[in-house]
Each structure stands twice: as structure tokens, then as C-alpha cells.
Amino acid sequence: AGHHVFDCPFLGKRPPAEDRSSTQAQKRVKMSGGKSTKAAEKSNYANESDDSAYVILQMKMPVADKAHYNWYLDPGASSHISNQLTDFMEFTPLSARIRVGGKNSLSVEGIGTVVKELETTGGRCSLTLRGVRYAPELQCSLYSVRPISA
């Protein structure tokens, strides 16, 4: 409690059970339907893990919401992909699929041109991206590093 994930002393380990009070152990036995203390501790540990996963998921949701509207550099992407139809200055509908993350695939509903305003150390500039795929299922939009540097 009260620390970042990367500072967690229990990262990848099970937290110690020695500091738990005997009343918690008794509650575990009651909750486990009379199972032994060891069995009850194991079942309680699973519940604690589920609770932790839920808390992490809850913390992650606002981040995911923000990511949905942002663009990220992706050296593995073979083309630029936007999840926002409003990004497109020119748009041609089409029906295709693109492969992402190994065997997974996403539906592509169109292709077009996107103009993005960028803030640089030298000031603002416009970046025109052509051949951008529109994939509304994608969690965020991706700049493909390959076409930018080619």
C-alpha cells in the first residue's frame, strides 16, 4: 500500500502472511466452510489477488480512455492506423483485415489521409500521413515508424 508498482517489494512474489491476525485466520476458516487454515489461506489469497486485479483494472481504465484518443509510435506497425474517423481529411471506405499482435486481426473500414499538428522544439508543424488505415476497434492510433523513415 502507498507505493508504485515498480517499487513494490512483493512484485512477482506472494506477500507474507505472518502479520495477519488470528481473527483473520478464523474468518478464513469460517468463509472456507471449515477447511483447514492452510486451505483457507490459499482460498483467501486467491480472493485477495482478484481484488488486486480489480483495483489495477479500475486504475487502468482512465489511462485506457486517454490512450484511445492519442497516437503512439509503433516500430512494429507496417502502416499508420487511426481509430478515429474524425482524424481523416480524405477517406475511402473499404473492407479489409489487418494482422496485429501475432495471430490476432482487426477490421479495417477505410483508408485515407490524416493531417496532424505537432509541437516541436522548433515550433508547430503539420505532418501529412497518407494511406492511413481506419480501424475503430484499435485501442489507440499508431504512427508506423517504417513509412516515416522510408
pLDDT tens string 86-128? 999 999 999 999 888 778 888 999 999 999 988 889 999 999 9
Please give the pLDDT value at position 54.
39
Half-sphere exposure in the Cβ direction for 135 (13 Å, CA):
21
* 40-53 per-position pLDDT tens digit: 444 443 344 444 44
Say whether pTM exceeds 0.95: no
In the predicted structure, residue 27 carries a pLDDT above the cut 80: no
